[in-house]
């Protein structure tokens, strides 16, 4: 019985982590131009809806690494998870 209980706790934990991952992406700040991002912090993710990614995707700008001149930004297109807001 204990083995089944551990497995069920692992499954529940994995589901919670998955839901939180989607929730943080959905709650991320969205701007219309990358120039509107003023102070990007290390690890922060900002969605940029500037039309530069293919249909159904949005650009994600992330503060990925600390350098002597500030936070290094990385950009990539990711699937758009929610409905498009105007």
Predicted TM-score (pTM) of this structure:
0.62
The tens-digit pLDDT sequence of the chain (86 residues) is 556 666 666 667 666 655 545 444 456 789 999 999 999 999 999 999 999 999 999 999 999 999 999 999 999 999 998 666 66
Residue partners of 40: CB distance under 8 A and separation at least 6 = 46, 61, 63, 71, 73
Domain ranges of the chain: 2-79
Alpha-carbon span 14 to 18, nearest angstrom: 6
C-alpha dihedral (41, 27, 51, 73), degrees to nearest 10: 20
Question: What does the pLDDT read at residue 15?
Answer: 62
């Amino acid at each position: 019985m204990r083995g089944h209980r551990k497995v069920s706790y692992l499954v529940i934990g994995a589901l919670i982590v998955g839901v939180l991952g989607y929730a943080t992406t959905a709650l991320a700040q969205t701007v219309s131009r990358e120039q509107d991002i003023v102070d990007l912090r290390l690890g922060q993710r900002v969605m940029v809806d500037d039309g530069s990614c293919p249909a159904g995707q949005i650009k994600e700008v992330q503060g990925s690494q600390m350098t002597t001149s500030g936070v290094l930004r990385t950009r990539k297109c990711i699937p758009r998870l929610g409905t498009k807001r105007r």
